[in-house]
Amino acid sequence: MQCLHTMRNKKKILVIEDEEVIQSLCRRLLARMGYASVIVGGLKAAMQEIEKSNDIDMLITDMRLPDGNSMDAIQKVCQKHPKTKILMITGSVTIPEDRMTQLKDMGLTEKNVLFKPFEMKEFESIIDRCLGER
């Protein structure tokens, strides 16, 4: 499922999330915040979007995807759009050490991870901070 919302804010956020509830939440929050968003349900659709897109300001991805490894999407977006901000969402209590090492190798830290369930204000604050809105 893919949905593009063009808003007053020119910044574009790609969301990779397989849970429909989280997709819906992200769609509503990002629209309310004024961001353009593309919501996809898996790695394959995300890779296609990254390849065809000329501008992705932020990538929000679930850590676990049904059709692949979210790290592949992060690596691809960082190669094609080096200034893209990254936020990983996870329902896990902790991040596996090998995954954290991969994130650190790409210059990312624990601040790039949001644990489910999360508060809407926390989600909004992280996005605004990452995109320099606050």
Is 61:106 a contact under the CB 8 Å cutoff? no
Q: How far is CA 73 from the centre of its chain?
A: 10
Q: How many domains does the chain have?
A: 1
The Cα 126–Cα 130 span in angstroms is 6
- Taking only the tens place, the pLDDT of each residue in 43-89 is 999 999 999 999 999 999 998 899 999 999 999 999 999 999 999 99
Coil, helix or strand at residue 17: coil
For residue 4, pLDDT beyond 50: no
For 35, the domain range is 4-130
Give the pLDDT of residue 133.
64
pTM above 0.85, yes or no: yes
CATH number of domain containing 15: 3.40.50.2300
For residue 9, pLDDT beyond 80: no
Coil, helix or strand at residue 116: coil
The Cα 2–Cα 99 span in angstroms is 27
| Maximum Cα interatomic distance, the chain, rounded to a whole number of Å | 40
